[in-house]
A and B are shown apart, each in its own frame.
Chain A
Amino acid sequence: MNNLKSLYSLRDLKQGQTAKVKSLLSTGSIRRRLQDIGLIEGTEVKCLLKSPAGDPVAYLIRGAVIALRSEESSNVLIYE
Chain B
Amino acid sequence: MDPKKKSKDIKAVSSELIVKRLTPDDKVIAVAGNPNVGKSTVFNNLTGLKQHTGNWPGKTVTNAQGYCHFRGSTYVLVDIPGTYSLMAHSAEEEVARNFICFGDPDVVIVVCDATCLERNFNLVLQTLEITDKVVVCVNLMDEAEKKNIRIDLEAISQKLGVPVIGTIARKKKTLNNLMLSVQQVLSTTKERTPLIVKYPKPIEDAVALLEPIIIKKVNKKINPRWLSLKLLDYDETLITVLNEYLGYDLLEDEEIKKVLTDARNILSNDGITSETLRDKIVSSLVLTAEKICSDTVHFDKNDYNERDRKIDIILTNKLTGFPIMIALLICVFWITISGANIPSSLLADGLFWIEDRITEAFQYLGAPDWLHGALVLGVYRVLAWVVSVMLPPMAIFFPLFTLLEDLGYLPRVAFNLDKYFKKCCACGKQALTMCMGFGCNAAGIIGCRIIDSPRERLIAIITNNFVPCNGRFPTLIAILTMFFVGSATGPFKSIFSAVLLTGLIVLGIFMTFIVSKMLSKTILKGIPSSFTLELPPYRKPQVGKIIVRSIFDRTLFVLGRAVMVAAPAGLIIWVMANVSIGDMTLLAICSNFLDPFAKLLGLDGVILLAFILGFPANEIVIPIVIMSYMASGSLLELDSIWDLKQLLVDNGWTWITAVSTMLFSLMHWPCSTTCLTIRKETQSWKWTFVSFAVPTLMGVIICFIFANIARLFI
Contact = CB atoms under 8 A, between A and B. Distances in A.
Contacts of B305: 60
Interface in A26-80: 26-27, 29-30, 32-38, 40-41, 43, 48-56, 58, 60-69, 71-72
B145 interface: no
B420 interface: yes
Given A41-B283, A67-B418, A49 B87 contact: no
A58 B312 contact: yes
A21 B647 CA distance: 68
A56 B533 contact: yes
Contacts of B422: 55, 69
B115 interface: yes
Interface string B512-543: 00000000000000001011111111000000
Contacts of B282: 32, 35-36, 40
A15 B279 CA distance: 29
Contacts of A58: 312, 316, 415, 535
Interface residues of A, number: 36
Interface string B108-139: 00000001111100100000000000000000
Interface in A8-38: 26-27, 29-30, 32-38
Contact of A52 (B283, B316, B534): B316
Residue among A29, A33, A63 facing the most chain B CB atoms (10 A cut-off)? A63
B58 to A, nearest CB: 13
Dominant secondary structure at the B interface: helix
Given A56-B533, A66-B533, A72-B532, A51 B84 contact: no
A32 B85 contact: yes
Given A65-B535, A66-B535, A30 B530 contact: yes
B535 A62 contact: no
B10 interface: no
Contact of B118 (A32, A62, A68, A72): A62
Nearest to A68: B532
B322 A37 contact: no
A27 B278 CA distance: 11
Contacts of A65: 308, 312, 534-537
B316 A51 contact: yes
B690 interface: no
Nearest to B282: A35
A63 B278 CA distance: 23
A29 B89 contact: yes
Given A51-B316, A64-B534, A67-B533, A32 B419 contact: no
Given A40-B282, A41-B283, A67-B532, A56 B419 contact: yes
A65 to B, nearest CB: 4
A38 to B, nearest CB: 5
B321 to A, nearest CB: 4
Contacts of B278: 32, 35
Contacts of B287: 40
Contact of B419 (A30, A54, A68): A54
Nearest to B535: A65
B419 A63 contact: no
21 contacts: A32-B87, A32-B282, A34-B532, A35-B286, A37-B532, A48-B309, A49-B309, A49-B313, A51-B316, A51-B415, A52-B316, A52-B321, A53-B416, A56-B533, A58-B415, A63-B118, A63-B119, A64-B119, A65-B308, A69-B530, A71-B528
Those 5 A-B pairs whose CB atoms lie nearest each other, nearest first: A53-B419, A52-B321, A36-B85, A35-B282, A67-B533
Interface of B: 84-85, 87, 89-90, 115-119, 122, 275, 278-279, 282-283, 286-287, 290, 305, 308-309, 312-313, 316-318, 321-322, 415-416, 418-420, 422, 428, 452, 528, 530-537
Given A37-B84, A58-B415, A67-B532, 16 more contacts: A27-B275, A30-B530, A32-B87, A35-B283, A36-B87, A41-B283, A51-B416, A51-B419, A52-B316, A58-B312, A58-B316, A65-B308, A65-B534, A67-B415, A68-B532, A72-B532
